[in-house]
Structure 1
Amino acid sequence: MPQSPHAPLLTVSPSRPVADRGPALTSPRPTPTPAPAPTPAWATADPYSSALRSGRGPLFLRRADGWLLPLDVERWCARADRVDRDVLDRCEGVVLDVGCGPGRLVAELAARGRTVLGIDVSEAAVEHTVRLGGQALRRSVFEALPGEGRWDTVLLMDGNIGIGGDPRELLERVRQLLTPGGLLIAETAPVDIDERAHVHLTDAFEATGAPFPWARLGTPALLRHARGWARAGQWTADGRRFVALRTRSASNSAEAAKSTAVISSQRARKPSGESAVADR
């Protein structure tokens, strides 16, 4: 994909590590500044940091009822695989990887010469990403971020559509980060599920820290929550499922407003035959 025509989002001084501070930016379009988000309990949990530093599990999300969801630490800590690379081929312009983990996707895009930033609330994840040659910040997606409203692509991979436990709130936050007409690529659960729960991170021996909210969404559930987004594609590869969504561009919004006005005027004359077009 061609690079964005926007001015560069990231200008980093070599005198300080990327992990220690945010990139200096050209003046972004004014956007509301989100309130600082508290660091989730799992971000400093020993099992998570230990797994990322060792590159292997076991690591699980554990619900209160004892159910365990295994996390694929070995794949996260390896190089981007064929399925990952196919996703990255679809990215447009400058890319923000939300919940970048140990940074395999950030590193792969950086190696391609793409402008990319990873964010993660885990210090171990940010350190690992920087060691791979990527740029990363220790930051929550719900905190103020560089270049808000100017990212061309946002990634929510490896189940990160579950961040915060409220998919609609997360989608709205991603919308604020993207440029009009920008692209979100999200990896969904391999089953049809729409679940919210409080979970712990555990290595199967003990859970550390307070529980935190998480969500699991299959593709149908994500599409139900994505009101106001345009579908840009969905696909399955090696058992992993993905959805691409696009924000409404300024021209699309204007056209939608015009269409609504036309439909409203027609409804006054034809009350039995017209209905508004539902958002996809």
Structure 2
Amino acid sequence: MPVQGGPTQEASAQTAPTQPAPPDYSRADSNFAGTQIAAHEGIEGTPRADQAGQTLGHDVSGHQGPVDWPAAAAAGAKFTYVKATEGTGFVNPQFIGQYDGAHAAGIIRGAYHFARPDVSSGAAQAEYFIAHGGGWSPDGTTLPGALDIEYNPYGDVCYGKSAADMTAWIADFTRTYLAKVKRSALIYTSTAWWKRCTGNTAKFGNTDPLWLARYGPEVGELPAGWDKHSIWQFARGGGLPGDQNYYNGPIGRVQALAKGA
């Protein structure tokens, strides 16, 4: 019998706080740079074969498994980005082998983070990324980290954020990364997503190099604030493992980015 004047068990159960559902990482192993961009924007073709002054590279993630890096180097890859983390709850289980394997084959490598603005702050995700391989060292073979910010694979394409809130989230990530690593992170995105989810903010064009995804014959329109791109992800798959990229310049520019010049 309940104590007189006290809450019944039924009433207590009704007022007990509910625990939020844990973040969904069910697709994390198959999320990689451009998966959602290709799904939402399609593939319109590939660039012309003659890309004078461009440096060929690629990007990979855990779903590829072990990579034959000497073969990738023989096929022309000069640089690569490897997925390290997603949100604050997933680390690519293939990261160390992929990242170190690229280095052993003489390929300049960097790490990227798949953004999840729906699960934690930008600062928390920058710190998680750095703690799990996303840092930088001035050894001439390590590229600064990249933030992969694209359509949400788990729900609302803008992660339920307004343009102002999304811009603030990205700024939180990039500001934290710069403070911790002393290098600006690259931003990987598409122009269409950027317009839709940030309101086409020009905030980052003077601080963070652009890694643009567009699967067509030309780079096309850039997001506001950038007058040039650093890397163009132009194709899904191809002759190299992962996805295909051109650095916008000769190999010396890739080396300069790795050295911090």
Structure-1-length-normalised TM-score: 0.32
Larger Rg: 2
**Structure of greater relative contact order (alpha carbons < 8 Å, 6+ residues apart):** 2
More strand by share: 1
